[in-house]
Each structure stands twice: as structure tokens, then as C-alpha cells.
Amino acid sequence: MVIVGAGLSGLAAARDLVAAGRSVLVLEARERPGGRVYGLPLGDGTTSEGGAEFIGPTQDRIAALAKDMGVDTFTTYNEGKNVYYRNGKRSLYATDGLLGAVPPDWGVIDLELALLKLGNMIKEVPVGEPWKAAKADEWDAQTFYTWSRSNSLSSGARFLMDAFASSTLSMRSQEVSLLYLLNYAASAGNESTPGTVDRLINTKGGAQESRFVGGSQEVPVRLAAKLGDIIRYNTPVRSIETGSGGVTVTADGLTVTAKRVVVAMSPAIANKIDYSPALPANRAQLMQRYPMGSIAKFVGVYDTPFWRADGLTGQAVADSGAIDATFDNSPPDGSRGILMGFMNQANIRKLDGASADEVRAAGLASFTTLFGDKAANPRITAFQRWDNEMWSGGGPVGIAPPGALTAFGPALRAPCGPIHWAGTETSDYWTGYMDGAVRSGERVAREVHAAL
């Protein structure tokens, strides 16, 4: 059988199918494994996490895979205070304050009440099948922006809810279905632990609690090495034809016939493949309605993590500038300092057409505003933009706008004859995360093995 895509979902599926005795060929468009998990070169022979990087509680499947690959984790630096920049004013807040990591704002009580409502709604969403919720039609008919404005009064609370959507989905709250966001939060758990907003947004006890020694890319790189020459790189798949004898997969320089095929990528990128005969309308329409978020990472490398001496975690949230959130991406021993800044949704779109020098200047201006003049002159800067990356088209995940889940949601995972679907977007738990990618690969491997 053929697996299209050597990201975590495709690699996890390949591992399990090979272990079950199946003959597998993995076709990958890039020259590397990992997909949206990527070690960004820093120009000095080292890398920093350019894509997905964090792991937290209840992310059991990526944890198990990393352990199998011999990749250890370490705790994300979280000592000191975080930076909050809004309306031109910089302030600090404790990481163990009200609502975990939510910064103090004059509207924080308003925010707390809104999030309590949101939490009760999350409990009503069947994980992985949000279209079955009793109020699915009502919730899928509105954006998170609409709901947040109807359920809060203060500009502070509204800003923080917008920041929640931006930091987790790299989309404006105006672009995201409320039902989708509810399911996203409901998925932030496992079979025994319900998902919550706190687990999504927090560092300690949340999805950003830990990182991987050597970078998250070590997990797919090591797994790909174990799978060996069943992976073909620089081989983008162009078409999949279904016939009485199975499927014919045509890629650059290669045509192969198999009994079944797994398409392990986001719906938006899966839509770039030509299917013959045409896919069922529900699946075809779904792929047209699941856009990727807009995200980039800007990295500054310093001699030391100077912000630690200033009593700061390296984490920040801002309402202006090119960077709207930051993290300390330094190595475990703190031998040098690495600041990472997210450029999300409108912030990165504003830099369309900007030169490398202009991007660098915008990123350093944000770092300086948030962390002072010491941030102005890093030894190295690096930049990874995902929304114009051919084989990802954005990140961190495909997003459902209003109306998409209730109309086409069941087509996310449903096989189309011998064509099966994987990718973090198809996962029940931790959709949008590395754990969701691994879960989807393991699920589709069981599905295919049972069908053969």
C-alpha cells in the first residue's frame, strides 16, 4: 500500500503497518520527513524548532512515540513573570495567577465569566464528532468573534479571547466557527481526561509544558531513519486513480499500483491532488472549506537568555507589532538564549512582499518592545514562514469556518473506497498538535489493516 506524506501521521501509519507485516511505500514531496515539524537551521550548524514543538499532559501518543525513538523531554522555561503589552503599555504578570496563564487586565473578571460559559459549552461537544452536539447548528452558524462579543462587555476580555484564537489557531476569531473552536478545546485531553481551554493556553500543566531535547524534529527524523528506504523523498504525488484493481498513484518520476492509499496531510493540501474518478461531493467540498492558519516563527539567538536574569520567562503577549506571542526556546542547559516569536494571522499577512531585512527589522522591533534594548542585537536571526510554504500552505492546522463542520464534518475521516485519510485535522484528541498527528496515523493504520 502507499502512504502519501511523511509527516508524523504518515510515519506513524507506516510504522504500524510495517509492524503488521504489510508492504508499504511512503511518498513525500519534501526532501525531509516531518511535515509541519521542522528544525529551522540557524546557520551555525544548529537548529531551533521552526514548526510544532511543545508537548504537554494527556498527549500520550506523541509521548510514547518519542520514548520509543529515544527522544527525551525537558520543561519549558517558566520561571519569573510574563510580559503583557497592550495599548502601548508594557506590564508584567505572574504565571500562576487567575486562570493560569491569562494576564491581568481590567476585564479579566469579564473574561473569567465568558470562559466559564465556554467551558460548559465545551462539555456538550462529542469529541471528534462536534456535528453531533445538540446545539451544533446554532454554534456552527457563528464565529468565535460573534460569540465573544455577545458574551463579554470589556475590550480587555475581547482582546484576550481574540488572542486565544490567534495563538492557538493562527486565525482571527472572525474566521473561525464557534463549533470548531469548542471541539478544538474539547480535544485537548484524552480518553480519561476532558479537554479544557486552560490546557490549551497554559504552559505549566498545559500544552506548552515541555519541549524535546534536540528539537521536536528528532522524533520524525529518527522514525524515518528506522523505516529506511520505504520512504521516497522529493516525490510529490500528483494524482490518485481508483480502479477495479486498487489505486494507481502517480508522482513525479514514479507510478505505483497498490490495494489502498493513505493521504496523510491537511485537507487543504490533499485538495491539490487530482482524483479519478472524482471524490464524493462531501469530501471534495470539505477540502475546499478547510483553510490553513497563517503563521510564521521569528527566532533571535543571544549569548545568554538575558531575560531570565531580568526575572522574565521569555513569554509575552502583545496587541501590536509584528510578533504577538513569544517563548524562551533556549536549549535545556541555557548555554545560549533563543527567543522565539509567533507572527500570526494578520501580522504575517502584512509582511507579504517584505524583504528579509524588513522582516528582521520588524521582528527585532517587537522583541525590543517586549524585552528591552538587550533584545535588539542577537548574534543570529532566523525566520520560518508557513503560509507560503508549498507543501503546508500554513499552520498549525486546518480550520473550519462557519457551516463547514455541520455540512461536511463526517467526511474528515470517512474512507472514499480504497482512499483513507490521516493528518492531525482528522484526530479526535489533540487535533492540531503532534499528538493528534500520531493518533491519526495509528487510527488509519488500524483502519487499513482491517480492510486488507
Binding residues for substrate: 342
For 319, phi then psi, to 5°, come to -100, 0
Cβ burial of 44 (10 Å; 0-12, 13-18, 19+) is: exposed
CB count within 10 Å of CB 132 equals 12
Contact 202, 317 (CB under 8 A): no
Name residue, grid cell 491537511. 266
Judged by DSSP in three states, 263 sits in strand
Residue numbering of the annotated binding site for FAD? 9, 28-29, 237, 425
Angle at 194 between CA 189 and CA 195, to 5 degrees: 55
- Alpha carbon dihedral 286, 288, 292, 294, in 10-degree steps, equals -150
E strand or H helix at 75: strand 73-75
The CA distance from 418 to 27, in Å, is 17
Per-residue CA distances from 342 to 33, 55, 240, 319, 339 (Å): 23, 17, 36, 12, 10
If you write DSSP's letter for every residue of 111-167 in order, what string do you get? HHHHHHHHHHHHTTSPTT-GGGSTTHHHHHTSBHHHHHHHS---HHHHHHHHHHHHH
Give me the amino acid identity at 79: E
The CA distance from 419 to 405, in Å, is 21
Per-residue CA distances from 327 to 57, 76, 370 (Å): 19, 9, 12
